[in-house]
Amino acid sequence: MSPASNPVLVVDDDPDIREAVQDILSFEGYGVVQADNGREALALLSSEPPLRPCIILLDLMMPVMDGEELVGHLQKVPALAELPVILVTASGRGMFPGVKTIIKKPFEMDELLAAVAAHCHP
C-alpha cells in the first residue's frame, strides 16, 4: 500500500476488535493500518515517510498511551491536529478537543462505515 493511499488508522488494544474493523473496512475497499496503543500510533504518524491516514479510529482506554493522551500529542503538531479522530469506545467519556465524534462499543457496522465514508474514499 502506498503512503498516498491514505489508509484508515485503527488504534485499539484489543486485537479482535482491530481485526474485525479491518475486515469490515477492507471488504469495503479501504486500506487499514493497525496500532495497539497510542504510542505505536504516534510512531507511525511520525515515521519517515509519515503515515497520513484519512481518519483515526481510536479506542480511549488502552495501556502504554491511551486515546486522550494520543489526541493531546496530535493537537501539538499542526499537520497531525488536522487529522479527523473518531473515538470508538465503551467508555462513557464525553467529547473533548481534537475529537470529531464518538462511536459507542459495541457499534453497528453501518455507523462505523458512515463515519469512515465521511472522511475517506476507498
Q: What is the spatial distance between Cα 106 and Cα 71, in angstroms, rounded to a whole number?
A: 22
- Stated pTM of the model: 0.92
In a domain, 104, yes or no: yes
- Residues 7-36 pLDDT 10s: 999 999 999 999 999 999 999 999 999 999
84-110 pLDDT, tens digit each: 999 998 887 777 888 999 999 888 999
38, 65 contact by CB (below 8 A): yes
Q: What is the CATH number of the domain that holds 97?
A: 3.40.50.2300
- The type of residue at 4 is A
Q: Which three cell numbers stand for residue 11?
A: 488504534
Domain extent at residue 86: 3-117
Is there a domain that residue 75 lies in? yes
DSSP 7: P
In a domain, 87, yes or no: yes
How many folded domains does the chain comprise?
1
pLDDT, tens digit, 9 for 90 and up, residues 48-94: 998 999 999 999 999 999 999 999 999 999 999 999 999 998 887 77
Does some domain include residue 122? no
- Positions of E strands within the chain: 8-11, 32-35, 55-58, 85-89, 101-104
Q: Is 62 inside any structural domain?
A: yes
